[in-house]
Homo-oligomer: A and B are copies of this chain.
Amino acid sequence: MIHFRNDYSDIAHPHILKRLVDLQHETHLGYGMDDHVEHAKRLINKACGIEGYVHLMTGGTSANKTVIAHLLKPYEAVISAQTGHIEVHETGAVEATGHKIISIPTHDGKLTPSLIVEVYQRHSDEHMVKPKMVYISNATETGHVYLKHELQALHQTCQELGLYLYLDGARLGVALTAKPNDLTLHDIAEYTDIFYIGGTKNGALLGEAVVMKDQAMDAYFRYSIKQQGGLLAKGFVAGIQFEVLFEDGLFFDIGQKANQSAEMLVQELHRLGLSFEATPTNQQFITLPRSVVYELAKHYTFELWHDHGDRQTIRLVTTYRTTLKDIQNLVSDIKRLIE
């Protein structure tokens, strides 16, 4: 089987595993109070150009619900695209902490100032929740990215309306290394209030780094992590991984490699005459005859995204492990099958 299923299917990047083995005889303070976590935080802050507050979490849903539960008052709500991960794919984790998600239909999973303003104005009194946070993801659930002027505009709107802007960076690695991208980690830190840098989908065993700039927002955040069940006893396991990812730019290399494979895949598929809206990151959604999908599934892993009856849309995900040969095989098999 050749693998296009997702970006969290292998254990970890070899450099990370090697480091864990190298350090196996060390002992450390628990719960993220150790030197590796401290060092990882410094590296992340440096990469973001800030003196911020960094917390290493065990996963995306855990990070999202903890951030939201920590920052919002009970009657405050978070605005999300209707396709947002918190709205669709977290089994009501945010609601389980007591907060409503106000969801908005969008074309490509990206929010805009006018969409936010409309929601804000509509929620005008105590019979409705009070919007207090805007949740976006970069890359979005469907592989799109925010450009700098778009993020700046969202940030300005949020500032004006007194809303927190929170960016879910589960796939920030591929977002920041996408071809059209003009954002840096410095920009992300500047134009959001809080965000997380995803490790799990970018080479780590597990781990997401939540970053805040504001001391008042950060206050007692470790209490919230612990209460939400996300405080890793062996915090250094996450710390060591983020050290490896941010020492020499491995974090970006991993994203870039995935994108390069995706780009190659897009070119080859377009060359075949397949028509689809390519995304700038490592997720591509293509629609094929059902019989073709059926045959492909014998040799390739991927997710069925949408079933149209005669035709099916599948999601192809590339990663830093995807090889030129993987892509060539896939494309030539598609070619053969659709002919």
Contact = CB atoms under 8 A, between A and B. Distances in A.
Contacts of A23: 11
Given A27-B321, A91-B126, A129-B227, 9 more contacts: A5-B30, A10-B24, A12-B20, A27-B301, A58-B232, A59-B229, A89-B128, A126-B222, A205-B234
A69 interface: yes
Contacts of A20: 11-12, 17, 20
A162 to B, nearest CB: 12
- Of the candidates A89, A92, A230, A232, the one having the most CB atoms from chain B within 10 angstroms of its own CB is A92
Contact of A234 (B11, B25, B73): B11
A237 B232 CA distance: 15
A227 B26 contact: no
B9 A30 contact: yes
B10 A224 contact: no
B92 A77 contact: yes
A299 interface: no
Given A27-B9, A74-B70, A91 B234 contact: no
Interface residues of A, number: 76
A61 B30 CA distance: 15
B93 A96 contact: no
Interface string A29-69: 11100000000000000000000000000111110011001
Interface in A3-21: 3, 5-6, 8-12, 14, 17-18, 20-21
Interface in A93-115: 93, 95-101
Contacts of A75: 91-92, 96, 220, 223-224, 226-227
24 contacts: A11-B20, A11-B236, A12-B24, A27-B321, A58-B206, A58-B229, A59-B231, A73-B220, A74-B92, A74-B224, A75-B92, A75-B224, A75-B226, A77-B92, A90-B127, A91-B223, A91-B227, A92-B99, A92-B100, A96-B97, A126-B222, A200-B234, A205-B237, A229-B230
A23 to B, nearest CB: 6
A324 interface: no
A130 interface: yes
Contact of A226 (B91, B201, B231): B91
A156 interface: no
Nearest to A219: B73
A311 interface: no
B205 A90 contact: no
A318 to B, nearest CB: 13
Contacts of A10: 24-28
A107 to B, nearest CB: 17
A89 B6 CA distance: 37
A338 interface: no
A91 B200 contact: no
B226 A127 contact: yes
A223 B73 CA distance: 10
